[in-house]
Amino acid sequence: MVARATRRLLVVASILALPAAGYAQGIVQPDHHLPSRPENVTWGWILIDKPPVLRIKSGETVRIDAISHHGATQAEHPVKFLGQFGVKPDEVLQDVIDFWETRDQRPAGEGRGGHVMTGPIYIEGAQPGDMLEVQVLDVELRVPYGFNGAGPTSGVLGPNYPGARPGDPVASGARKLFRTARVSGRTVVLFADGITFEATPFMGNMAVAPPLPVPGPPIGAPLQSTRPPGVFGGNMDTHDLGAGGRVYLPVFQPGALFYAGDPHSVQGGGEVSGTAIEHSATATFRFVLHKGKTISAPRAETATDYIVMGIDEDLNRAMRLAVQQAVDFLVAEMGMDAGDAYHLTSLAVDFNVEEAVNGTQVISGRIPKRIFHKEFFLKRSEQ
């Protein structure tokens, strides 16, 4: 009982300590920098048995470069391909060119999924049954452009999607470049004349190595496609998880083996055309290992909300899982009665579609922090 009371007091203390505008903490110099060089990335797979490209200790910070697969994985040289969209040669990242030049020499199995992932990072002491906290300290765009795609199989509208035109640069669908610019101290997306909106960059794909056996072909192989998210995290595409967000992932393999990629400059909930604005970026993370803290699915947190996730191939099942995760969180972390937690979930928790286009659906439940007052935690701690 004392331990539970202490834990709840720590929870309220952490809430009260959060700055009003968010809790991203800028850092002058990270402990490590992991560039997106060909030897540091995988293409389309999250591998369990790939040797770590970096080893760190809990509490350390890592600056991770990531490249978008849009411009890096097509048949044409990146300079030629991107030039069709008005990108100048000096705007093409050297990392993109270097990766493209290694495509034919990549390990067997790569390229079956789309995303280029940087990693894995081995966290010392991490073992199955632990929880890895990933604090997103900063996300910066690396180039002033990114792509949004739409196609017959990638978006929610299927083969009759709007905007399909013969002769598009990508045979399977339409691909459109959008530029970004600094306006009044903010980075904005220049969508069209008279239409701009703020860029909110984040890593769409943050994962630990999954458990075995991994479902799907080849059955039981030590690799996981980067496309569908799962209990390991992955392609969650939750747009609130930019600077100031925190992601909590269950650990399944020694060292956790963390990967990051699929960088975006902006995305609406659901990613309904099939992609966000896919945009090379650099993110700075702090990794904190929680020994013996077992969770059954990814969780997240922002300055304003606790976020639980339901992940399933069926959207209805994903919704039920998200609701159950919300109830479980309120019982385990807030000490609530399960019945009261269910009532609260219906009255105060917002459920949103985060991912609806990658085979596996993601429903998030946002539990607002503002509803929990100091008196609630103090009363609970006395029980």
Please state, in angstroms and as integers, the Cα–Cα distance from residue 59 to each residue in 30, 134, 286, 334, following that order: 11, 10, 6, 25
pLDDT at 269 over 70: yes
Convert the pLDDT of each residue in 281-334 to its tens digit. Answer: 999 999 999 999 999 999 999 999 999 999 999 999 999 999 999 999 999 999
Strand order in the sheet with 305-312: 32-34, 61-66, 281-290, 131-141, 246-250, 299-301, 305-312, 361-368, 350-355
Confirm whether 85 is domain-assigned: yes
CATH number at residue 37: 2.60.120.580
Are the CB atoms for 327 and 341 separated by under 8 Å? Answer: yes
Confirm whether 322 is domain-assigned: yes
Confirm whether 381 is domain-assigned: no
* Number of domains observed in the structure of the chain: 1
Confirm whether 379 is domain-assigned: no
Convert the pLDDT of each residue in 50-108 to its tens digit. Answer: 999 999 999 999 999 999 999 999 999 999 999 999 999 999 999 999 999 998 888 86
Confirm whether 172 is domain-assigned: yes
Confirm whether 382 is domain-assigned: no
Range of the domain at 42: 2-374
Convert the pLDDT of each residue in 118-131 to its tens digit. Answer: 999 999 999 999 99
Convert the pLDDT of each residue in 13-57 to its tens digit. Answer: 343 333 333 334 455 699 999 999 999 999 999 989 899 999 999
- Name the β-bridge partners of 143: none
H helix count then E strand count, the chain: 6, 22
Helix axes 374-382, 2-16, angle to 10 degrees: 170
Confirm whether 383 is domain-assigned: no
* Residue 46 phi, psi (nearest 5): -100, 110
CA 8 to chain centre: 28
Taking residues 201-214, report their average pLDDT. Answer: 92
- Under the banding of pLDDT at 50, 70 and 90, the label for residue 162 is confident
Are the CB atoms for 189 and 265 separated by under 8 Å? Answer: yes
Q: Which pTM value belongs to this model?
A: 0.89
Please state, in angstroms and as integers, the Cα–Cα distance from residue 192 to each residue in 150, 196, 241, following that order: 18, 7, 26
CA distance 353 to 125: 35
The burial of 240, by beta-carbon neighbours within 10 Å (0-12 exposed, 13-18 middle, 19 or more buried), is given as: buried
